[in-house]
Chain A
Amino acid sequence: DAGVIQSPRHEVTEMGQEVTLRCKPISGHDYLFWYRQTMMRGLELLIYFNNNVPIDDSGMPEDRFSAKMPNASFSTLKIQPSEPRDSAVYFCASSLNTAQPQHFGDGTRLSIL
């Protein structure tokens, strides 16, 4: 079975550019989570969706960040405009429900120059 699929795996871009990260969750999973991982702050939850509806976006750093889930098999995390401090590894994860384990993708390593 395919796991959570993220693209791209690596992204290098200049500050001010728009960045779009993509995620395909495991089929049948109702929950989708976006995380950011840095050495300084560890793994932070940015936002999560239940049945395509955003439930908690309190972890989204600022208005430059937005996330959408137009259907059950696709989600995007967008940063516009990007800044060097956004450099991090961004993970997407999905789960059947909140009492079940989360399945993580391999992440997108984002570098903003």
Chain B
Amino acid sequence: SQQGEEDPQALSIQEGENATMNCSYKTSINNLQWYRQNSGRGLVHLILIRSNEREKHSGRLRVTLDTSKKSSSLLITASRAADTASYFCATEANQGGKLIFGQGTELSVKP
């Protein structure tokens, strides 16, 4: 069963706009990670946020984590056509060891 559920399933925006993707999960976690997948390629790690952190930034990416609501969001600011990809959240449960991936959000950024 999937731990993470993402919303929306698909998002289409214009270049320069911000994109926000949300992830909800069910059990207590050690950390939550976001990955990007371009068509036909493997997943690429974007950012990791630990359970004791609330917000983290990396370039144009901003991730928040609310452990009381068991949810996270990924914000991409000033989007570019090259940001077009699928974005996945993944959680490492307290038992450790493995990541459980959500179904992903398909982002399309139109030039």
Binding site for B on A (CB under 8 A): 4, 33, 42-43, 45, 48, 50, 55-56, 91, 93, 98-107
Q: DSSP majority for the B interface?
A: strand
The interface residues of chain A lying within 8 Å CB-to-CB of B42 are: 4, 91, 93, 104-107
Extra pairs beyond A99-B31, A104-B35 (5, CB < 8 Å): A43-B104, A93-B43, A99-B30, A101-B33, A101-B48
Q: Which of B15-23, B61-69, B74-82, B91-99 contacts A (4 or more CB under 8 A)?
A: B91-99
In Å, the complex CA distance between A61 and B79 comes to 39
In Å, the complex CA distance between A42 and B37 comes to 12
Query: In the complex, are the beta carbons of B101 and A56 less than 8 A apart?
Result: no
The interface residues of chain B lying within 8 Å CB-to-CB of A105 are: 42
In Å, the complex CA distance between A107 and B103 comes to 18
The interface residues of chain A lying within 8 Å CB-to-CB of B99 are: 33, 45, 102
In Å, the complex CA distance between A25 and B97 comes to 17
Contact A48-B92, Cβ < 8 Å, known A42-B103, A101-B48: no
In Å, the complex CA distance between A59 and B45 comes to 22
**B44 interfacial by beta-carbon distance below 8 Å:** yes
Query: In the complex, are the beta carbons of A56 and B98 less than 8 A apart?
Result: yes
Shortest CB–CB separation between residue B79 and chain A, in angstroms? Answer: 23
Shortest CB–CB separation between residue B68 and chain A, in angstroms? Answer: 22
**B11 interfacial by beta-carbon distance below 8 Å:** no
Shortest CB–CB separation between residue A4 and chain B, in angstroms? Answer: 7
In Å, the complex CA distance between A57 and B45 comes to 23
In Å, the complex CA distance between A93 and B98 comes to 11
Query: In the complex, are the beta carbons of B104 and A42 less than 8 A apart?
Result: yes
Query: In the complex, are the beta carbons of A104 and B98 less than 8 A apart?
Result: no
Shortest CB–CB separation between residue A5 and chain B, in angstroms? Answer: 11
Query: What are 25 sample pairs from A and B whose C-beta atoms fall under 8 A apart?
Result: A4-B42, A42-B103, A43-B43, A43-B88, A45-B100, A48-B97, A55-B97, A56-B98, A91-B43, A93-B43, A98-B92, A98-B97, A99-B92, A100-B48, A101-B33, A101-B45, A101-B48, A103-B45, A104-B35, A104-B42, A104-B43, A104-B44, A105-B42, A106-B41, A106-B42
